[in-house]
Structure 1
Amino acid sequence: MSEGKLIGLAAGGTGGHMFPAEALAQEMKRRDWRVLLFTDNRGMRYGETFPADILHELPAANPSASGLKAKTAAGFSLMRAVSQAVKVIGVHKPDIMVGFGGYPSAPAMLAARLRKIPHGVHEQNAVLGRVNRLVAPKADFVAHAFPQLTRLPENRTGSLLQLGNPVRDAVMQCAAAAYVAPAEYSQIDLFIFGGSQGAALFSRVVPEAIRQLPQALRARLRVTQQVRDDELDTVKAIYDEIGVAADLQSFFSDMPERLARAHLIISRAGASSVTEIATVGRPAILVPLAIAMDDHQSGNASVLEECGAARVLQEANFTPDSLQVYLSELLTRPAMLAQMAQKALTVAPDNATARLADHIVSLVNPAVT
């Protein structure tokens, strides 16, 4: 394959969109492609690790914002972003564009269409997201993670590919770490993360659930938890009060390593979280985000629940009492944790990143097989 080809990637600024985009970028770099990334200001915090040769921040605003003033501002922001993306694409001339969803990816993908650049989308969830739904009808391909994909437009003309979710190199490296269930009386590592829309709920519920556990079990726990900056002191005070060692941070840059160390995970059910938990092979308690569009996180969570790798607590039932029941059951049954970890591995994606890259290469250069 000729060197110097350029792929443009567009992703909203959350880990759920950025991580699979990063995985594809890593694979394309291995194939001697250059990478152009479009994201918003939130996505820029991933810039230090994202292997982009060209990084462009686009202004973005949520088109679902309530109120006429907010919607008008979002509309103007979208128009500015599309104009910027059209110019950037005109200068750098990517050979293909791939969108990973999230509303900040919309302007770049619309610009690709205007510039008549080959383009496709990857949907990480079991439900096609709003931006990907907008782009899909004219896209050259729609790639998706799970066996079923709902909300797919009927007027779509490109190919449909079920490939799985691309997984970052750092996660794949941790996939080799075998799960070792906690021995009797030994330390138990509990890892809790939920992103910006989960951290607040977990801060309220998880410490109080742990408070209800027997003192002997609490004393064995080492908690690693994502906590919002404005709640760090409050949550730390609770863990100090109940005698639980806790590492609390608002953002973890070493997520894969922490996943690998965990004996049990409590998290939301975003597609990347579910995929990475399966790839590393760890037992989990999943709490789908109630306000997620089309309830797609429940669909994601069911993948691990149905194979026996996870327990699922819907947000309405996620209370200290209900979580304490699950924690008491799982943390005192190491054999069950080991079985759940093994079952998680059975649904891990198989070469999803390479297969997506293969398809992209075949579109740009059909002579390459």
Structure 2
Amino acid sequence: MTSTTDHLTPEDYEAIATELDALREEIVDDLGERDAAYIHRIIRVQRGLEIAARAVLLGSSLPPAWIAGTATLAVAKILENMEIGHNVMHGQWDWMRDPKIHSTTWEWDNVSPAEQWKHSHNFVHHTFTNILGKDKDVGYGILRVTPEQEWHWANIPQPVYNALLAMFFEYGVALHDLEIDKIRAGTNDPEETRAKLRAIGRKIRRQWGKDYLAFPLLSGPQFLSTLSANFTANALRNVWAHMIIFCGHFPGDIEVFEEERLDGETKGEWYVRQLLGSANITGGSLFHLMTGNLSHQIEHHLFPDLPSNRYAEIAPRVRALCEKYDLPYHTGSLSKQVTSTWKKIFRYALPGPRTEQSEPSEPDRAPVERPVAA
């Protein structure tokens, strides 16, 4: 695999770790009332949108009410999953010591049980980011998204798999912690697998009972139109979450790594692996909010437990660090990242690696004079 880090010395890695540790400490020391007010405000807005959507859908047999209610409910679900649930369960707001907004107590509006998600995502993915064979998020076990992954004939229809995964993304996430590869190989713990399946089943029953039974029943004779509205809102939320997450992990020349990379990996090397294995999406403040600030995927991978409202603030400094050490800072518009990601999914559905790099996210590495580390 081509490396973009051959020019870095051990002293560079140490300096990178020192700078990023200092940046993190600066933000942690500055957390306070304005940050707490931010998350409380977002939760109020999200709950207000959901209440409004449920009320409008009581008249869901009328097309304008169905459209308005469905769109509002989809926005509410996106906010809950992306900016609130994902980030609360990362521990970004644990510093407030509020038991209602804490990683140990939050259960999100999603069929994936919070505890299983926190293991597969917070621990496995964020520890082993883009390590082939360790990070199950590389292709989610069904997609070949890099030439380093072994090709199999089952990859040929993967564009279809991906489209289905997008629509039903929450179910794919729910099954993620089961480690299907171990089940296929017979190396899983059967009792542990059954316990996880029971937890998933309970969560699905809870979500279906709410969205596909309780609220449709409240709308009386408009049961079917309300049910369809709820299904559509969930599908829209799933497609949006899938798109944002894939655009943060798979576009352009995002790098993957062999497991040997972990041997003796230093803090600086871990930071650089996060930089090389992530991509940002450009946009305005409302767009960043609706992505859960995962449009700042680079900053999120560097500092997964820092409050998401701070990512836009630190992004210019992270980018400057990349320029200082001649490292790529992958970023681009949503359309560019979506196109690049889907090109990979179609290309690597076919056998054989490609020697040339995929189209890079912009801006690409610019030649700079690399400083000598202190």
TM-score (norm: length of structure 1): 0.24
Structure with more of its chain in strand, by fraction: 1
Q: TM-score, normalised by structure 2?
A: 0.23
Larger helix fraction of residues: 2
Higher normalized contact order (CA 8 Å, seq sep 6+, divided by chain length): 2
